[in-house]
Amino acid sequence: MPRIRLLSALVAGTLVTITVFAAPPPVNNHPELHAVAGAVKASNLHATDVALVGFGTRHTLSTTTSKTRGIGAARRWVAAQFETISKGCDGCLEIVTPSQVFTGKRMPKAGAEVMDVVAIQRGTSDPDRVIVMTAHLDSRRSDVMDAAGDSPGANDDAAGVAALIETARVLSKHRFPATLVYSADSGEEQGLYGGKIIAQYAVDHGWKVEANLNNDMVGNSHGGNGAHDPHTIRVFSEGTKSNETLEQAAYRRYHGGGVDSPSRNIARYMAALAEQYLDDFHVRMVYRTDRWGRSGDQVPFLDQGFPAVRLSESNENYDHQHQNVRVENGVHYGDVVSGVDFDYLANVTRLDAITMASLAMAPPPPPDLAVKGAVAYDTTLSWQPSPGAASYNAWWRETTAPQWQHVQSASDADSVVLKDIILDDWFFGVSAVSKGGWESPVEFPGFAGSFARSPKLGPDGKPVDALYPSFGRFGGDAVGQPSWRHDTKSDGHP
Ligand SMILES: [Zn+2]
C-alpha cells in the first residue's frame, strides 16, 4: 500500500486539494508527538506485566484482603503506580476507585463488588471533554468462576494495563486542554462490569467522552496458526451508532453513513497518526464492533452513546486465552509472560499515547455539521463553531474508500462551498484545527457521524424515541447504587 506523507501545512484561506492514499489527517507535523512516541519504554511494560502476573490470580472474585495475591492486591498496586506517576508531575493525576455490586450469570447470586482503579489527568481549558483509555485488570481460568487457581493473564489483559500505566507515565509530563482518563477495569471477564462502571461514572460526572480507546489483548504478535505480524494492530470500530433511533437508522440507510460513526472516524484518525508518527507500525481497521461473537469494555461506552474503539493484536493464539496453564500433548496452554512481545506492545502503547495526546490537544470536532447540495454542482458544508478552533478542514472521499482522501481548508468560517464537487458522488466530513495546528478527527454530517452523545433521553432517563434494536446483552444487573469513591486512602480501598 503506498504511503504518502503530507509534508506541507495548509495555509489558512488557501484552497488546496490533496489526494493521498493512506495518510490524511492530521495535516500538520507535531514534533511533540514524535517525543511522546519516543518516551515509551518496552522495559517498563515488561516490568508491569511481570508484577501483575506476580499476583497469582486477578480474578474479579479472588481475595481482596491478601497483600500479595488476588484482585485486591493488584488494584492497590495499580493505584500505587498512579500515585508514583502523580508525584512526578506535581499531583497531576487524581486517583478514584469507582465500584458497584453486580449479580449475573458469571457472578455470585448475592452479588459481588467490582472496582476500577482510575487516574484522571484534568484538562487545562476544556476539562469536561474527556478521552478515556481502558484495559482490564481481571483475569480468568478455563472455568470462568474459578477464582482460586493461578490465572496469569499476561496478555489478557496485563499487557493492556501495562500500556495504560505507561501511557499515563509518558503523558503526565505534558499538559493538555482536554482531560485524559486511564481506567484499569475489573469484572470484564465476568460480564463487562468494569466497563459499565467507568462509562456510568462518565455519564454521572457530565463528561463529554470524545473517544474510548479500549486495549484488550494487545501484546501478542504470533497467531496460534503460525502467522506473525509485529507491524500491525487491529482497531475495531462500529459502523453505525449502537443506539440510533428507528428514524435515524432509516435516514442513514437511504443517504449513507453506514461506515461513518464517530467511532469509525476515531479509527481512521488512529490509522493516519500511525502512518505519520510511528516507525513501520500500522492500523488495520476492522469494520466491526469487536471480534466475531466476542466483546470488550468499549461496548458499555457505545451503549452510553460515546464513541469507542477496541485495539487488539494482529494475530491471536487461542491456546493462550482463558486457559489454565498446562502442557497437554506437547501443546502449551495458558496466558504467560513469555507469550507477550514487549517491543510489539511498546508500539501499541505509542499509538495509544499519540492518539490520546493529539485528541486532547485538538479542538472537538465541529458541532451540528450539515451537508447540502442536492440537484446542484457544488456541495456546502456548515457547522457551529468548535471551542478552541482557529480553522476547519473539509474532507471528502470516494464512497467506497476506507480513508479520507481530499481536503480543502475552510479557514475560520462556519461553512464552506466545495466547487464542482457533487454531493451524490462522495462522502464528506469536517475537522476542527487549533491555532497550533492540532486537528480533530473528521466528523461525518448529521446524526450518523455526530460526536455528541446520543440518544435523546426523557426525564425518566429513558430514550425519548424508539431505538433500533441492539444485538445481545453482556453481563448481569447491578445490585444497589454505584459508589463513586473519590480517593484511595480514606477507607483503605481499593
Ligand atoms: Zn480481555
What are the residue ranges spanned by the domains of the chain?
Answer: 1-26+366-454, 31-361
1-26+366-454 and 31-361, same CATH topology = no
Amino acid at 156: D
End-to-end CA distance of the chain: 48
Once rounded to an integer, what is the mean pLDDT over residues 324-337?
96
pLDDT at residue 1 is higher than 60: no
Query: CATH 2.60.40.10: does it fit domain 1-26+366-454?
Result: yes
Share of the chain above pLDDT 70, in %: 92
Q: How far is the CA of 170 from the centre of ligand 1 (A)?
A: 24
Q: How far is the CA of 294 from the centre of ligand 1 (A)?
A: 10
Measured CA to CA, the distance from residue 434 to residue 464 in angstroms comes to 35
Domain boundaries 31-361, CATH class: alpha beta
pLDDT at residue 19 is higher than 80: no
pLDDT at residue 196 is higher than 80: yes
Secondary structure of residue 281 in the 3-state scheme = coil
Q: Which of 317, 305, 311 is nearest to 286 (CA)?
A: 311
pLDDT, one tens digit per residue, over 251-295 is 999 999 999 999 999 999 999 999 999 999 999 999 999 999 899
pLDDT at 9: 37
* Side-chain-facing half-sphere of 131: CA atoms under 13 Å: 31
State how far Cα 46 lies from the chain centre. Answer: 22
Q: How far is the CA of 366 from the centre of ligand 1 (A)?
A: 34
pLDDT, one tens digit per residue, over 91-131 is 999 999 999 999 999 999 999 999 999 999 999 999 999 99
On average, the pLDDT of the chain sits at 92
Q: How far is the CA of 475 from the centre of ligand 1 (A)?
A: 14
Q: How far is the CA of 312 from the centre of ligand 1 (A)?
A: 9
pLDDT at residue 13 is higher than 90: no
pLDDT at residue 30 is higher than 60: yes
Residue with cell 441492539: 470
State how far Cα 355 lies from the chain centre. Answer: 9
Q: How far is the CA of 313 from the centre of ligand 1 (A)?
A: 11
Contact 214, 310 (CB under 8 A): yes
Q: Which of 84, 74, 59 is nearest to 149 (CA)?
A: 59
Ramachandran region, residue 239 (left: φ > 0; alpha: ψ -120 to 50; beta: rest): alpha
Q: How far is the CA of 361 from the centre of ligand 1 (A)?
A: 29
pLDDT, one tens digit per residue, over 429-480 is 999 999 999 999 999 999 999 999 988 888 988 889 989 887 776 788 888 8
Cis peptide before 319 (omega within 30 of 0): no
Stretch (H or E) spanning 299? helix 298-303
pLDDT at residue 492 is higher than 50: no
Q: How far is the CA of 350 from the centre of ligand 1 (A)?
A: 20
pLDDT at 488: 46
Contact 310, 286 (CB under 8 A): no
Cell of 466: 424508539
Q: How far is the CA of 138 from the centre of ligand 1 (A)?
A: 8
pLDDT at residue 2 is higher than 70: no
pLDDT at 485: 66
Cell of 86: 502523580
pLDDT at residue 400 is higher than 70: yes
Diameter over CA atoms, the chain: 70
pLDDT at 328: 96
Lowest mean pLDDT segment, chosen from 15-29, 33-47, 124-138, 466-480: 15-29
Q: How far is the CA of 85 from the centre of ligand 1 (A)?
A: 25
Q: How far is the CA of 136 from the centre of ligand 1 (A)?
A: 7
- For residue 80, name the pLDDT band (cuts at 50, 70, 90): very high
pLDDT at residue 389 is higher than 60: yes
Residue with cell 491478601: 66
Q: How far is the CA of 60 from the centre of ligand 1 (A)?
A: 13
pLDDT at 24: 54
Q: How far is the CA of 183 from the centre of ligand 1 (A)?
A: 14
Measured CA to CA, the distance from residue 57 to residue 258 in angstroms comes to 42
Q: Which of 222, 238, 119, 228 is nearest to 179 (CA)?
A: 119
Environment of ion ligand 1 (residues, CB < 5 A): 156-157, 216
Stretch (H or E) spanning 182? strand 178-185
Residue with cell 485486591: 72
pLDDT, one tens digit per residue, over 56-70 is 999 999 999 999 999
